[in-house]
Amino acid sequence: MIRTLLLTGMLATVLVFGFGQDKLLEPYLPEPPRIQIPAPEPPPPPPVVDHPTPRAPTTRTTRPEGVGRPCRFFGVRANGLKIVYVVDRSGSMLRTFDFVRAEMVYSIRYLAPKQQFSVIFFAGSQPDVLSIEGKSRLTHATPLNKAAAKNWIVGRRDPESGAGIAGIGLALKAAFEIAGGPPNAIYLLTDGDLPPETLDLLRKLNADKKVRIHTIAFIDRAGEKKLKKIAEEDGGTYKFISEEELGEGL
């Protein structure tokens, strides 16, 4: 009997302090710390590659025949391989003629060597045509010819008082018939009114409209109506140059 009780007590002790100890003490033990493992971050998105829209294939274009470097005279633009300046040198231009000379030299200075040019002054008689090495013709805009043209322009005598612009018709005819021509573009500058027959003359000289005529009314609007009409009929540009545009030097 006593032996049985001892065995029973030992078994109880093993159950309490051995296999069942954790269960018996579970309400009294602190909870183990919880370790939170963060969820893995998603991989970064792939870089965005900006693929430009493919361009349509282009072909290299060249300037059409007769179109050279743009030329400017008092801000009026003209395209052409052959340019002629037809400029009033009558008595009314006496006060402003130096401005015209300077602008003409500046305009010629920026022509490309493959371009050709000429200058024709008109007043009351025969036109005065640029001559280089004794030849009055369209000349290539080489540095040597530009320098010769500058000397010729600067060396022309000042307008004579009382000289009118009756010679404009002969000057325009000379521009169309110049050796090496006809030109692609003509600049026509004057401060006076044009003779009535000027428009009819140009309609004959430029019947096929292959020559663009750009017109400039200088200081005076007397000839503005006819100059606008010429530019309109001959594919050119009209511009009025005021005293204010010339600055304080006038």
pLDDT for the residue 84: 98
pLDDT for the residue 62: 44
| Burial readout 205-216 (b: 16 or more C-beta within 10 A, e: otherwise) | bbeeeebbbbbb
pLDDT for the residue 218: 96
| pLDDT beneath 50, residues of the chain | 5-7, 11-20, 24-25, 57-65
pLDDT for the residue 204: 97
State if pTM tops 0.85.
Answer: no
39 contacts: CB under 8 Å, gap ≥ 6: none
Nearest-angstrom CA–CA distance, 211 and 84: 10
pLDDT for the residue 194: 92
pLDDT for the residue 51: 54
Show contacts of 110-114: CB within 8 Å, 24+ apart. Answer: 110/69, 110/71, 110/72, 111/68, 111/69, 111/71, 111/83, 111/141, 111/146, 112/68, 112/69, 112/141, 113/140, 113/141, 113/142, 113/143, 114/68, 114/81, 114/140, 114/141
